[in-house]
Structure 1
């Protein structure tokens, strides 16, 4: 039996990774800021983090925040893993972190580099955005009578349970470095995704395309966050909406 620490283990992805690993018979430790007995703020580190890491065979690092602190958290986690002699660190990243100059993406790329240079055995998996992320964006846009969408933007959402399954596989295997990315089954326009969302919610909104400016928007429009050549996901956005 393998002892596996899942950071962010109460989150959208981490919870499913922990469930999958437990179902496969592994001992799983769930680390998050409030989940006892491994309640740790990775940005602060300290003895509680050392206790969580001690004796772990693998760490699956799912904890992340668009509000900042990912690099500091990764440094603390890597340092604790080194002290404990953890042989394998698995990290979930995002397709396009090296192509889209978005602040959160830059932080994820910086964490990748910290892990690659850590001296630990490591595996990094990049995926396209989860269905949940696209759903939440569209729900926000739909709050007004007119639904504004960034013009010319596509997305390729993926089913989070499929990503969790792949991470669980990687966690029980040897360090693999950078593995092939996972993309959702379809590249879709944001307008098309918005129509699917409105149908599922039984709502009517005028959808208006809004052109934006800047390097980040141009990189998204160019498809820097997409992986059409790796459309390995199965679950569609409509299937996700139907389950909600």
Structure 2
């Protein structure tokens, strides 16, 4: 039986990865700042992190925050993993971190490099954005009578549960380096996704696309965050919306 540590284990992705690995019969340590047993702040590190990593075979690093600190957290985790003799470090990244000059993407790319240069056996999986992100974005934008969207930008959202399945599969295998990207089943314009969201939530809003300035917008417009050749996801945005909002209505 393999002992696996999942960081960010109380988050949307980490929780699902933890569940799948436990269902597979592995001993799984769930680490996050709010986890009941391994309550560790990766940015601070310390003896709690060493205790969490001790005796672990594989680490699935899901912990992340757009508020900053991911590089420091990864460096602390890698140092603890080296001391403990961990054999395999898996990192979940984002498609386009090397093509889109967004600050958060640059940080994810820096953590990829730390992983690759860690001296540990490593695997990096890049996925497109989860369905949750456009849902949250449209929820905020639909508070106004008109939804203003970036013109010419598409997205390829993927279901988080499918990414969790892939990470659990990778955690049960040998280090594989940079594996093939994982994208959602469809590349869709922001406007079409927004209209699907409005239909699912029963809201009536005008959708207006506007051009934006800057290198980041141009990179998104060029599709730097997309992986159309790796459209391996199964659940569409409409599937996600139906499940999400029908369950809310039943609740």
Q: Distance in 2 between matches of 1:240 and 1:156?
A: 13
What residue is the counterpart of 2:83 in the other structure?
83
2:88 corresponds to 1:105: no
TM-score relative to the length of structure 1? 0.99
* Secondary structure, aligned partner of 1:213: coil
Structure 2: state its 5+ residue gaps: 245-251
Over 6 Å off, 4+ runs: none
What residue is the counterpart of 1:141 in the other structure?
141
* Secondary structure, aligned partner of 1:165: helix
1:208, distance to aligned residue in structure 2 (A) = 1.1
What residue is the counterpart of 1:179 in the other structure?
179
8 Å Cα contact 2:10/2:34 also seen in 1: no
Q: Distance in 1 between matches of 2:21 and 2:136?
A: 27
Q: Distance in 2 between matches of 1:127 and 1:202?
A: 30
Q: Distance in 2 between matches of 1:94 and 1:3?
A: 26
Q: Distance in 2 between matches of 1:59 and 1:225?
A: 26
Q: Distance in 1 between matches of 2:163 and 2:63?
A: 15
What residue is the counterpart of 1:203 in the other structure?
203
Structure 1: state its 5+ residue gaps: none
Q: Distance in 1 between matches of 2:150 and 2:67?
A: 22
1:237, distance to aligned residue in structure 2 (A) = 0.4
TM-score relative to the length of structure 2? 0.97
* Secondary structure, aligned partner of 1:184: coil
1:140, distance to aligned residue in structure 2 (A) = 1.0
* Secondary structure, aligned partner of 1:207: strand
What residue is the counterpart of 1:69 in the other structure?
69
**CA RMSD, 1 decimal:** 0.5
In the alignment of these two chains, the number of paired residues is 244
